[in-house]
Amino acid sequence: MKKLLLALAVTGMLVAVALSGGQKPVVSDGAVQVSVEERNPWTHLRLNQGPDIFNFVVVSDRTGGHRPRIFSQAIEQINLLQPAFVVSVGDLIEGYTKDGVKLGTEWKEFQSYVCKLQMPFFYVAGNHDVSNDYMEKQWHERFGRRYYHFVHRNVLFLMLCSDDPASSSEGGISKEQSAYVSRALQENQGVRWTVVAIHKPLWNQSNVEKNGWLDVEKSLAGRPYTVFAGHVHRYQKFVRQGMNYYQLATTGGGSRLRGVKYGEFDHLVWVTMKKDGPVLANLMLDGIYPESLKPPVTAEEGVSIANRKPVYPVKGKVHFDGTPTPDAVVVFYLIDGKKMTRAADGLVEADGSFALSTYKAFDGAPAGQYAVAVSWREAGAPNRLPARYADPATSGLRVQVKAEANDVSLDLTTRPVEPKESAK
């Protein structure tokens, strides 16, 4: 006990310094022992550490078409970083089945990875993890609760389920879960920050008025908090109620990996919780190496890609009233009778050019008839194009992709236009 009290007294209080003419104590925020002179080769001695500071990692979607040896290598990389703990945002297995043997195999595989972590891993359920009543039962038998909370160093962590009930195709939060959130927040009114981890970014869905998220936001209003989600496999930041919401990219999940501009990459989020809130750093997995500079090699297999349709290059240009539309989003929807299915997309460059991607970066699109939607907006700003172009059903843009290299011209205008094929 005496040794403990002595250590506490030394840490963050005094630094013994040797000055010519005698010893003088210098007040410091850190436990640094160094000789202080009239001039010193450092900026200050206020160490960036203390009881209010800690680090944790957030991992994003592993599945939804997971690729080999990504998530399992990320586990090894997290051990290099040594955070206090790891938080997930769901989609941990491929799921979407009622086959008990298949589910057991997938969960066994996933747990064989996270059991190698040298720190705790906190689960969040995604739609791939609890997509039906049977999978929800399996989750309960393995992990118990689908939503819960914990507190660390006066920071509240709310781990929520965006597929409650599991049978909801769009996702949502039940009244029971919403009531739980309200109680947890009331019982922890004195925390300095709240971190919310959830799979689907429910605030950005068409059913936001009905999916229960607004009730959660109402409970969160007036306190400092940060939200982390996944599901879309594309990084995007939102600001709601003056607070930051992050939709993460992937940690091995299906991605075309077109890079930072598209928000498509494999990453970990390194969070430093400080006294006045979190500081975030996105760490790209291909930039984390051990001291040997040899990346870890694992045996994790990816999903089969044998049934993918062949794709063909699709490039083109977009103009609005004769001028390019840089950073506009072009989406191709495959037409099958009366059904339209999103198939490929691209971003418009400064000169108006774009290239489509379906399975991987700029690979093109399968042959077929497409309806095209184009939207052009900055974050949080209104669409700069007429509203009809944002909906493939009303855009009037139709393109036939052929089994060859395709060159597409999309000429948008403020005037109403008739549907027409645009491929050359």
In sequence order, what DSSP letters do the residues of 16-54 get, joined into one string?
EEEETTEEEEEE-SS-------SS-SSS----S-STT-E
What distance in Å separates the CA atoms of residue 132 and residue 119, rounded to the nearest whole number? Answer: 30
Residue 12 has pLDDT above 80, yes or no: no
Q: How confident is the model at residue 28 (pLDDT cuts 50, 70, 90)?
A: very low
What distance in Å separates the CA atoms of residue 56 and residue 270, rounded to the nearest whole number? Answer: 6
Question: DSSP states of 193-216 as a string?
Answer: EEEEE-SS-GGGSTTTTTSSHHHH
pLDDT reported for residue 78: 98
Which residue ranges form the domains of the chain, and what is each CATH number?
Answer: 1-47 (no CATH), 54-287 (3.60.21.10), 314-376+385-421 (2.60.40.1120)
Token pair listed for 351: 């000169």
Picking from 124-133, 341-350, 415-424, which range would have the lowest pLDDT averaged per residue?
415-424
What distance in Å separates the CA atoms of residue 60 and residue 80, rounded to the nearest whole number? Answer: 18
Q: Per residue in 241-288, pLDDT tens? A: 999 999 999 999 999 999 999 999 999 999 999 999 999 999 999 999
Q: How confident is the model at residue 321 (pLDDT cuts 50, 70, 90)?
A: very high
Q: Per residue in 176-206, pLDDT tens? A: 999 999 999 999 999 999 999 999 999 999 8
